[in-house]
Structure 1
Amino acid sequence: MDVMSHPPFAVTVDLVLMTVADGILSVLLQRRVEEPFADQLALPGGFVGIEEALDDAARRVLVGKAGVAAQDSAWLEQLYTFGDPQRDPRMRTVSIAYFALLPHAVLERAVTSKADLALRPVTEPCEPLAFDHAAIIAAAHERLRGKLDYTPIAFALLPDLFTLRDLQAVHEAIIGTTFNKPAFRRRMLDTGWIEATGERETETPFRPAELYRQR
C-alpha cells in the first residue's frame, strides 16, 4: 500500500492515576467536552505528537490534563498497549496506557483545581466510561494487585512515617479484602522493606502505635 494512501492512524497515551481515598482505591477521571463520548468520564489522555516521545507525552498529559505537578509523580509506569480496531470511532487509534500511585492529597488538589476532574472508585465508577477505559482501569488494577507481593509499590500512598495499621489499610484497599493483622504485620516485617523508628504517633484517641519508615 502506498504510504500516502494509508488510512488515518493515531497513537495516544492514557493515564491511570490511582490513590486510596477514605479506604477505597480510586482513580482520577475527566469529563469529556467533545465527541466522541461527550459528557462521559474518561481517563486523562491525549494524542502523541509526531516527534514526541511516549514518556514525554505522558508527562505532558499528567501536568496539562490531570493537573498534577511533575514533581508530585516520581514514576509513571507503562501498563499495556490497547489497540482494538473499534476502540475509537474516529479512526484507528492505539493507546499506550500508563499507571501510577499518588498520595490522596495530590489528586485531591488536582480535582479542586480543575472542574472537569473527579475521583471515582476503581471498581465502581458509577457510570459508563468512554472508549475502552473501563478495561484499561481493570488491567491497571490487576497489575497493581500483582505487584504488591514483590515490590514496595504501596509506599507511594503513605507519608514518610506511618504505622503498620496505615500500611495494612492501603493494602486492603488495593486488594479489596481484609487481612489477618498478625500475619500481615509479620509478612511486612519479613520483607525487609520497613524499619521501626522508635517513635510513636501523636494526637490519637487510641494507644499510640509505633511509627515505621521505608528502609
Structure 2
Amino acid sequence: MSLTVDLVVLTVRDDRLHVLLIERGKEPFRGKTALPGGFVRSREDSDAAALRELAEETGLDGRTLHLEQLRSYTRPDRDPRGRVVSVAYLALAPDLPLPVAGTDARRARWTPVADLGPGDLAFDHARILADGLERARAKLEYTTLATAFCPPTFTITELRRVYEVVWGVSLDARNFHRKVVNADDFLVATGTRRVPDVGRPAALYRAGGATVLYPPMLRAAAQHPVART
C-alpha cells in the first residue's frame, strides 16, 4: 500500500471561487486535470509532503496559506496503480498569483469551481473537491475562517463578498455589517480608511484573535440564493 497527499486549494479571484488544478504530466491520466499532490516519501509525514508537493507542482508556499487536513480516502480501486490511500488537505488564501507548474505537472492554473463538470478531474478528485468545498462552506458558519480569503486589511464589503462567493448567496449588506462587527473578537478596526477612485472611503479591518465565530453566521438564514460559484 502507498500513501499520497492531495490538495484542495481555494481562493477568490474576480468575484468567483477558484480551485488550483494541474495538468498531469505522467500516467495514469496523463494530460488529465487533477488536484495537486503526490506520494509521501519514506522519511516525511503527510503534512510535510503536502507542503513539498504544493511547492513542486505549483510554486506556491503552503506555509503562507491556511492549511488543514480534510480527510483520508481509502477506496481500494481509487488509483489504477494499486492500493493507494490519500490524505487530502484544504488550503485557503486571498487572491494568489498565477501558479508555476513543475516536476510531474505540465500546467498549473486557477479554475472557477462552477466551470468544472462531471468527469473533468482524474482519480476521485471530484469527490475530494466536493468534500473540500463543503468543509469551507460549513466552517464559514461557525469559525472566523472567512478572513483567510482576505488580505491583511480589508473592508466589510470585501469580507461579505467572500461569504457570497463561497456560499453562492446574496447577503443583506446592513445585516451582515451588524453581525460581523458585533461578533466577539472577529474583526479589529485599524482606524484607517481606503479611499476608492469612486465612492465613499471605507473603514479597514483586520482579523481578530477569535477562531470560533459567535454568534454563528448560518447559511440557512442567508437571503437571496444565486447561482453557486
Q: Which of the five TM-score ranges fits, normalised by the shorter chain?
A: 0.7 to 0.9
Q: Matched residue of 2:148: which SS?
A: helix
CA displacement 1:175-208 (0-9 Å, x = unmatched): 1111111111111112230122332212331111
How big is each residue's C-alpha offset from its partner over 1:118-171, in whole Å with a ceiling of 9 and x where there is no partner? 111223325611001011011000001111122111112212221110000011
Stretch of structure 1 that moved more, 49-58 or 38-47: 49-58
In structure 1, what is the Cα distance between the partners aligned to 2:81 and 2:114? Answer: 28
Match of 2:81 among 87, 90, 95: 90
User: 2:40 and 2:101 mapped to 1: Cα distance?
Assistant: 27
Equivalent in the alignment of 2:181: 189
- Of residues 90-99 and 191-200 in structure 1, the stretch that sits farther from structure 2 once superposed is 191-200
1:151 to 138, 143, 149: 143
Q: Is the 8 A contact 2:146 2:163 kept in 1?
A: yes
The two structures have a TM-score, normalised by structure 1, of 0.88
SS in 1 for 2:42: coil
Answering whether residue 92 of structure 2 is matched by residue 101 of structure 1, we say yes
User: Given the superposition, is the C-alpha separation of residues 67 and 30 from structure 1 closer, same or farther in structure 2, using an over 3 Å criterion?
Assistant: same
Given candidates 199, 202, 210, the residue that maps to 1:209 is 202
Aligned-pair distance for 1:69? 2.2
- Report the structure number with the largest CA radius of gyration: 1
**Is residue 59–residue 70 contact of structure 1 (8 Å, CA) maintained in 2?**
yes
**Residue pairs, 1:64-213, within 5 angstroms:** 64-73=56-65, 75-105=66-96, 108-111=97-100, 116-125=107-116, 128-192=120-184, 193-213=186-206
Residue 44 of structure 2: which of 42, 49, 52 is its match?
Answer: 52
Partner of residue 215, structure 2: none
Shift of 1:72: 2.4
Q: Percent identity?
A: 42
Quick one: structure 1 residues 20 and 111, their matched pair in 2 at CA, closer, same or farther if it must change by over 3 Å?
farther
Question: Which position in structure 1 is the counterpart of 2:224?
Answer: none
Distance in 1 between residues matched to 2:177 and 2:100, nearest whole Å? 34
Select between 112-121 and 156-165 the one with higher mean Cα deviation: 112-121
Between 1:59-68 and 1:198-207, the stretch displaced more is 198-207
Distance of 2:144 and 2:52 partners within structure 1: 26
Cα deviation per residue 1:28-86 (whole Å; 9 max; x = unaligned)?
0000122211111101110112232111111111211121124422x420001111111
8 Å contact from structure 1 (residues 27, 121) kept in 2: yes
The gaps in structure 2 that reach 5 residues or longer are: 209-229
Q: 1:55 to 1:118 in 2, by over 3 A?
A: same
Aligned residues: 204
For the structure 1 residues 183 and 111, does the alpha-carbon distance in structure 2 shift closer, same or farther, using more than 3 Å as the test? farther
